Amino acid sequence: MLVVGLTGGIGSGKTTVANGFSALGVSVIDTDQLARELVEPGQPALDEIIAVFGKDCIARDGQLKRACIRQQIYSDAGLKSQLEAILHPKIRQRIKTLLAELRETYCIVAIPLLLETRQTDLVDRILVVDTAEKEQLTRVAARDSLSDNTIMAIMQSQADRNTRLQAADDIIVNDGDLESLAERILELHTYYMEIAYDH
């Protein structure tokens, strides 16, 4: 099975692209989703997070207050590393388990921090969604209730555009409308089906 790692900066369009492949019947492993499942009440990772961030970051219904965590890690690099040390090995293990269960010609693994967390060994090809930084900012501001400063801080904590483009095997330039994005996804889907047979 050919494993394509999908990555890109915040607001570049990864989720939109992942949904596009999914709509074509492609299996998509979404690591953001895996991360959310890992911190559900009753999961071991949640207890580890409480030990670091305190009980104040847990809502009354037992769910993690993600905004509270986000705010703390962007002002404290040490806390960010601690959170990553809890989550990343568990996410990595979960990806491996899910990949081992799949019986497909090819699949997509959406990993926002594919390059930053050095997980490229999990995938055969790297597909980067590329969008101008200004556009990322506009899209995230419209989607989330985050200040421009917070969005820029997130962007700065991620790999820069050139680093991503250099690492890419395939690129989706997401600077047009949703229709041209869908066309590009279909084009890549056809290509991946072709090369997966030789894989």
Q: Which residues bind ligand ADP (CB under 6 A)?
A: 8, 10-16, 139, 143, 174, 177-178, 181
- In the complex, the smallest distance separating the C-beta of residue 97 from ligand ADP, rounded to whole angstroms, is 23
- In the complex, the smallest distance separating the C-beta of residue 84 from ligand ADP, rounded to whole angstroms, is 19
Residue (36 or 199) nearer to ligand ADP, CB: 36
Residue (73 or 181) nearer to ligand ADP, CB: 181
Sequence-ordered list of residues with C-beta below 8 angstroms from that of 9, at least 6 positions apart, any chain: 131, 133, 136, 155, 158, 159, 161, 164
Residue (2 or 130) nearer to ligand ADP, CB: 130
**Torsion of the alpha carbons at 74, 77, 80 and 81, rounded to the nearest 10:** 160
Residue (10 or 38) nearer to ligand ADP, CB: 10
C-beta of residue 183 within 8 angstroms of C-beta of residue 165: no
Token pair of 147, please?
């200040």
Token pair of 167, please?
């690492």
- In the complex, the smallest distance separating the C-beta of residue 112 from ligand ADP, rounded to whole angstroms, is 7
- In the complex, the smallest distance separating the C-beta of residue 180 from ligand ADP, rounded to whole angstroms, is 7
- In the complex, the smallest distance separating the C-beta of residue 153 from ligand ADP, rounded to whole angstroms, is 15
Which has the closest alpha carbon to 34: 20, 18, 50?
A: 18
Phi, psi of 159 (to 5 degrees): -60, 150
Which has the closest alpha carbon to 135: 5, 16, 6?
A: 16
Residue (5 or 8) nearer to ligand ADP, CB: 8
The separation between the first and the last C-alpha atoms of the chain, rounded to the nearest angstrom, is 7
